[in-house]
Amino acid sequence: NAGVMQNPRHLVRRRGQEARLRCSPMKGHSHVYWYRQLPEEGLKFMVYLQKENIIDESGMPKERFSAEFPKEGPSILRIQQVVRGDSAAYFCASSLGRWGETQYFGPGTRLLVL
Amino acid sequence: RKEVEQDPGPFNVPEGATVAFNCTYSNSASQSFFWYRQDCRKEPKLLMSVYSSGNEDGRFTAQLNRASQYISLLIRDSKLSDSATYLCVVKVLTGGGNKLTFGTGTQLKVEL
């Protein structure tokens, strides 16, 4: 039973490029969460999605960041015009339902902006 | 003030020692509480949920004091494999659902 999958595991971008991070939830899970962990800091919630819907994006920066979870395929976190401060580990988690459900984390994507 | 506060450590303890971590949270509407473990450069993994009545899982015991907004984790008979960062996590159920708020973690190093 495959867990949460994320790719790529490592991503290097130059300032101004776009970064696309993918997350495939656990089988049967339709709720996806994205978290960011800056160096030496805790994980911070970014966005919560269900299939085709953004439920809570209160943790997303207002500019350059977007997320989607289409009917088919993985969830995508997109960062446009990356800056050095975007360098971080981006973790995706999934759960079976919305309320009171355990979130299972993927291995993360480590983004380095040069 | 951070929503979830932890002593960052590191806690360096000999194998076999008992070690305790504490955590405080600021949102009185927090409804669920957890300890996660994070190994270096890996994803967080759920260690245990925390209940007001206290709960135990093998060598690990977790306690919650809602009045003081305080959570603890006790590890008995520490093993080398317990070396990791321990994350205190709270969940506030809102209209949006299931968002987790993480502390910055307490680092534990168990030594021979």
Q: pLDDT tens across B7-42, in order?
A: 988 999 999 999 999 999 998 888 889 999 999 879
Which residues have C-beta within 8 Å of that of residue B97, sequence separation ≥ 6?
A31, A48, A55, A56, A98, A99
In chain B, residues with a C-beta closer than 8 Å to the C-beta of A43 are: 44, 87, 100, 102
Going by pLDDT thresholds of 50, 70 and 90, the confidence category of residue B93 is confident
Amino acid of residue A60: M
Q: Compute the distance between CA of residue A46 and CA of residue A91 in angstroms, rounded to an integer.
A: 10
Average pLDDT, chain B: 92
Cα B14 to Cα B1, B20, B100, B107, B108, distances in angstroms: 33, 14, 32, 14, 11
Facing A107 at nearest CB: one of B4, B43, B99: B43
Q: Please report the pLDDT score of residue B60 as a whole number.
A: 97
CB of B12 within 8 Å of a chain A CB? The answer is no
* Contact state of A31 with B98 under an 8 Å Cβ cutoff: yes
SS3 B74: strand
Whether the pLDDT of residue A67 is over 70: the answer is yes
Q: Is A109 exposed, middle or buried (0-12, 13-18, 19+ CB in 10 A)?
A: buried
With an 8 Å Cβ cutoff, is B46 touching chain A? yes
Q: What is the largest CA-CA distance in chain B?
A: 48
Residue A85 confidence (pLDDT) above 60: yes
Q: State whether residue A19 is helix, strand or coil.
A: strand
Q: What angle do CA B82, B19, B39 make, to 5 degrees?
A: 25
Query: CB A48 to CB B104 under 8 A?
Result: no
CB contact under 8 A, A43 and B41: no
Confidence of residue B95 (pLDDT cuts 50, 70, 90): low
CB spacing of A103 vs B105 below 8 angstroms: no
C-alpha B19/C-alpha B73 separation (Å) is 8
Instruction: Say which amino acid occupies B18.
Output: T
Q: Is B14 on the interface with A (CB under 8 A)?
A: no
A–B CB contacts, 8 A cutoff, strictly below:
63
Q: Do A48 and B44 touch (CB under 8 A)?
A: no
Residue B79 touches chain A, beta carbons under 8 Å = no
Which 8-state DSSP code applies to residue B27? -
